[in-house]
């Protein structure tokens, strides 16, 4: 299993280019199932979750063509025939977002069979809200042998029907799943208490380009006028705000000076504001954030919230920064119930962190020293990489496959900014740890 070896101490300097957003690319790839015409997606990041989605769509019968050379970030998906509208446990267990195919499949094919995702390292993460919403749209749902089966009702012409859906809780992929399903439903669907994440807006932009009639995506109320058929389209995926935020923190933490380019700073407002509180200086342009980490960092409390609040996907990285800020930072995780697994690894590197339920108290300013640490999920891995960049000596991060799920070429990008980082095979004996997925 690959590991990363990082020697800390170098300030990051230079320019880094941000890739397309994994969390926008995944629903957009699922949306291609709604039409029998080709959907061309640009700015697709080359990360493992995209490869998993490619396998998932191909197993159903879709043709997924990945670009190469200069077009390596382009994917063309043709779901002309979908012989097996199913998502197997083998794929869903490695990537929960596989459940995004449920809505499009039942809307287009009249049936879908998707494995239940089961438990996960960062919390229970059920899909009850996806199921409830599909039932409101008229799908008949059964659950058996660990699978959800959804079918349309022959008495209703084998189509989904528009409905009023009020989400009990804000869910990003739940909003996306039902939004896709509603595009092909008969009549109007009104969804309230929707997720307002930019990735939902990006998906709606693609769906509208495919002929859907969606209004209000990016706000908490979305209206969809269903259509009979969608057609092919070409769409460019938005930049990855979490990758951008991770590099912004890397620059600040190492006392560097980095231009984070090809990003959308308007998607990063909460993160940038919080970093300003900690003393980080930035210069913001339309698609670039210059981060200057020449000031001492000071503690600031942080609460994760749904967009436009501070993203839970940046909590672990912020914790790494808080370990180096003077004073005490209280970090509250309000989205997932078990998302502090990086804390114990940071403590092994010398951080002073106390976790109580959904709250972590970080007493900052303690020097970090190298250690062998274990990545437990995608963003926890990023937090360990950040800590290693400022730790004394050589840190070895095990289970970096988590990182590969969501960060494109992270070593090359960090190396180009001056970090000492390399990937190696099995170089130390395994430590026992709980299995996990993000």
Which residues within the stretch 165-224 sit at the binding site for ligand UD1 (CB under 6 A)?
A: 169, 171-174, 199
Contact 379, 242 (CB under 8 A): yes
Contact 170, 193 (CB under 8 A): yes
For residue 279, what are its two tokens?
């003393």
Q: Which of 34, 325, 335, 417 binds ligand UD1 (CB under 6 A)?
A: 335
Shortest spacing between CB 41 and ligand UD1, in angstroms: 15
Which is closer to ligand UD1, CB of 313 or CB of 345? 313
Which is closer to ligand UD1, CB of 3 or CB of 274? 274
Buried b (16+ CB within 10 A) or exposed e, 12-40: beeebbbbbbbbbbbbbbbbbbbbebbbb
Q: Which of 26, 180, 224, 268 binds ligand UD1 (CB under 6 A)?
A: 26
Binding status of residue 23 toward ligand UD1 by CB under 6 A: yes
Which is closer to ligand UD1, CB of 129 or CB of 214? 129
Cα–Cα distance for residue pair 191/171, rounded to 1 Å: 12
Binding status of residue 357 toward ligand UD1 by CB under 6 A: no
Shortest spacing between CB 26 and ligand UD1, in angstroms: 5
Asked, as a colleague might, if the bond just before 410 is cis with ω within 30 of 0, I would say: no
Which residues within the stretch 51-110 sit at the binding site for ligand UD1 (CB under 6 A)?
A: 96-97
Q: Which of 247, 310, 318, 336 binds ligand UD1 (CB under 6 A)?
A: 336
Q: Which of 240, 313, 345, 408 binds ligand UD1 (CB under 6 A)?
A: 313
Binding piece for ligand UD1, criterion CB under 6 A, among 56-64, 122-130, 183-191, 384-392: 122-130
Q: What are phi and psi of 348, to 5 degrees?
A: -65, -20
Binding status of residue 163 toward ligand UD1 by CB under 6 A: no
Binding status of residue 146 toward ligand UD1 by CB under 6 A: no
Binding piece for ligand UD1, criterion CB under 6 A, among 53-61, 77-85, 121-129, 294-302: 121-129
- Picking from 53, 25, 57, 27, the residue whose alpha carbon sits closest to that of residue 41 is 25
Which is closer to ligand UD1, CB of 79 or CB of 178? 178
Catalytic residue among 120, 194, 263, 288: 120
Total site size for ligand UD1, rule CB under 6 A: 22
Which is closer to ligand UD1, CB of 10 or CB of 315? 315
Binding status of residue 121 toward ligand UD1 by CB under 6 A: no
* Active site annotation includes 120: yes
Shortest spacing between CB 93 and ligand UD1, in angstroms: 14
Binding status of residue 129 toward ligand UD1 by CB under 6 A: yes
Cβ neighbours of residue 17 closer than 8 Å, sequence gap 6 or more: 261, 262, 413
Cα–Cα distance for residue pair 315/302, rounded to 1 Å: 8
User: How many Cβ atoms are within 10 Å of 84's Cβ, its own excluded?
Assistant: 12
Residue with tokens 């008949």: 140
Shortest spacing between CB 239 and ligand UD1, in angstroms: 15
Q: Which of 14, 61, 119, 123 binds ligand UD1 (CB under 6 A)?
A: 123
Which is closer to ligand UD1, CB of 127 or CB of 419? 127
Shortest spacing between CB 28 and ligand UD1, in angstroms: 11
Shortest spacing between CB 397 and ligand UD1, in angstroms: 20
| Chain contacts with ligand UD1 (rule: CB under 6 A) | 23, 26, 96-97, 123-130, 169, 171-174, 199, 312-313, 335-336
Q: Which residues does the annotation mark as catalytic?
A: 120
């Amino acid at each position: 299993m690959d590991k990363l070896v990082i020697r800390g101490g170098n300030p990051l300097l230079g320019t880094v280019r941000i890739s397309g957003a994994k969390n926008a690319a995944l629903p957009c790839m699922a949306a291609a199932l709604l039409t029998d015409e080709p959907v061309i997606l640009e700015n697709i990041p080359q990360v493992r979750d995209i490869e998993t989605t490619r396998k998932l769509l191909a197993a159903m019968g879709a043709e997924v063509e990945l670009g190469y050379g200069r077009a390596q970030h382009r994917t063309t998906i043709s779901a002309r025939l979908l012989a097996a509208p199913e998502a197997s446990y083998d794929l869903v267990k490695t990537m929960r977002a596989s459940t995004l195919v449920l809505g499009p499949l039942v809307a287009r094919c009249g049936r879908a069979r998707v494995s239940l995702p089961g438990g996960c390292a960062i919390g229970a993460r059920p899909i009850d809200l996806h199921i409830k919403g599909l039932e409101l749209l008229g799908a008949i749902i059964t659950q058996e042998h660990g699978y959800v089966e959804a079918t349309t009702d022959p008495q209703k012409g084998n189509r989904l029907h528009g409905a009023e859906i009020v989400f009990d809780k804000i869910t990003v992929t739940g909003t996306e799943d039902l939004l896709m399903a509603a595009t092909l439903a008969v009549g109007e669907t009104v969804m309230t208490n929707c997720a307002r994440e930019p990735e939902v807006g990006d998906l709606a932009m693609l769906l509208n380009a495919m002929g859907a009639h969606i209004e209000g995506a990016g706000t908490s109320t979305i209206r969809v006028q269903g259509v009979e058929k969608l057609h092919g389209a070409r769409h460019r995926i938005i930049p990855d705000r979490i990758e951008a935020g991770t590099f912004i923190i890397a620059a600040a933490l190492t006392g560097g000076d980095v231009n984070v380019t090809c990003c959308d700073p308007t998607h990063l407002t909460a993160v940038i504001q919080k970093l300003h509180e900690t003393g980080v200086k930035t210069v913001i342009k339309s698609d670039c954030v210059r981060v200057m980490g020449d000031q001492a960092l000071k503690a600031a409390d942080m609460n994760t919230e749904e967009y436009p609040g501070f993203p839970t996907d940046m909590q672990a990285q912020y914790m790494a920064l808080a370990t180096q800020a003077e004073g005490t930072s209280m970090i509250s995780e309000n989205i997932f119930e078990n998302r502090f697994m990086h804390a114990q690894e940071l403590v092994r590197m010398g951080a002073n962190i106390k976790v109580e339920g959904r709250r972590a108290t970080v007493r900052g300013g303690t020097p970090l020293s190298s250690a062998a640490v274990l990545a437990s999920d995608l963003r926890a891995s990023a937090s360990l990489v950040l800590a290693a960049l400022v730790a004394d000596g050589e840190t070895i991060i095990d289970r970096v496959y988590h990182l590969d799920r969501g960060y494109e070429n992270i070593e090359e990008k960090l190396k180009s900014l001056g970090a000492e980082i390399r990937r190696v095979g099995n170089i130390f004996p395994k430590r026992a740890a709980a299995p996990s997925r993000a």
